[in-house]
Amino acid sequence: MGSLTMNASSQTAAGSRVVMTETIKANNPAGTTHAAGDQRSAGTTMAIEDVTLRYGDANGVLALDDVSLKVAKNEFCVIVGPSGCGKSSLLYLAAGLNDATSGSIKVDGREVIEPGPDRGMVFQSYTLFPWLTVRANIEYGPKRKGLPAEQRRQIVDQYLNEVGLAPFADHYPAQLSGGMKQRVAIARALANDPAVLLMDEPFGALDSQTRGTMQKLLLRVWERQQKTVLFVTHDIDEALVLGDRVLVMTARPGKIKAEIKVDIPRPRSMDVILEPDFIALKRRILGLLHDEIDEDH
């Protein structure tokens, strides 16, 4: 379980903000947790250490302030935080799409210096290649890797079935609904077999019913595929339904304020949001986030 490095020792002089580090356990019989629970904390896949991000020069806006976290192998880790707290920026840094001002990010022990196929990403905006069919979109990564055609076909078929879009294999993205596009985006990222899957509010642009369906689908896929996931959202329900662990971020400059262990047994259904354990955790996170918003005003 000790897969967390907190920033309690943050050296910023501000001092007024109490950085809490807490682990809240819901009252669940330990035996009913995910079968891979222990195995998942066995190794660290992604380690973010003392990452600071400042836009522009030394007087620029401080977006991330000394953030450290670790994501264990096959863990589903969720970051929640108020809008503008830098949680998406953190994900872009992890993907190698932007450079941190200081600090380091490692995936499987290797320093992240540029984007690469070992860190798949699903974006909030629709990023399917509009000139490629659904099949060709999913095939893009395996093709770049130089896998032979037969193997690519098997991978594509597997993930088309996984996200339930086999009948739409030859459609173009413009012919798909928003939810379907994000399903293809997930399939496309997974087909590349990344060490870690980064998800930046992937369901943020969807209506609430589609979002529920997508969460269910993602859980099913994740439980079967066993992937390391770092997921960013501002939706607390989403964070608790999906995550093994929820990290709560402060308002800008973003820091990690608390870690909440979600010991709700898997496989989880969408009805879990009505259970007392779930509500207790949600109340806890809401309280943490409200402090943030109040501090701001």
**Positions that interact with another protein (CB under 8 A):** 92, 95-97, 114-117, 119-121, 123, 125, 127, 129-132, 140-141, 144-145, 172-174, 185, 188-189, 192, 194, 198
**Can you tell me the distance from the alpha carbon of 133 to that of 79, in angstroms, rounded to the nearest whole number?**
32
Taking alpha carbons only, the member of 15, 124, 7, 122 closest to residue 65 is 7
Q: How many residues does the chain have?
A: 297
Taking alpha carbons only, the member of 193, 42, 27 closest to residue 119 is 193
Instruction: Please state the closest distance from residue 132 (CB atom) to another protein, in A.
Output: 8
Decide whether 102 or 125 has the Cβ nearer to another protein.
Answer: 125
Taking alpha carbons only, the member of 2, 3, 100 closest to residue 45 is 3
User: Could you tell me if 120 and 194 are in contact, meaning their C-beta atoms sit under 8 angstroms apart?
Assistant: yes
Decide whether 36 or 132 has the Cβ nearer to another protein.
Answer: 132
**Can you tell me the distance from the alpha carbon of 150 to that of 164, in angstroms, rounded to the nearest whole number?**
21
**Can you tell me the distance from the alpha carbon of 81 to that of 83, in angstroms, rounded to the nearest whole number?**
6
Instruction: Please state the closest distance from residue 7 (CB atom) to another protein, in A.
Output: 27
Instruction: Please state the closest distance from residue 254 (CB atom) to another protein, in A.
Output: 20
Instruction: Please state the closest distance from residue 17 (CB atom) to another protein, in A.
Output: 32
Instruction: Please state the closest distance from residue 178 (CB atom) to another protein, in A.
Output: 15
Decide whether 106 or 172 has the Cβ nearer to another protein.
Answer: 172
Instruction: Please state the closest distance from residue 140 (CB atom) to another protein, in A.
Output: 5
User: Could you tell me if 137 and 129 are in contact, meaning their C-beta atoms sit under 8 angstroms apart?
Assistant: yes
Decide whether 116 or 212 has the Cβ nearer to another protein.
Answer: 116
The bridge status of strand 44-54 relative to strand 62-72 is antiparallel
Work out the number of other CB atoms within 10 angstroms of the CB of residue 74. 21
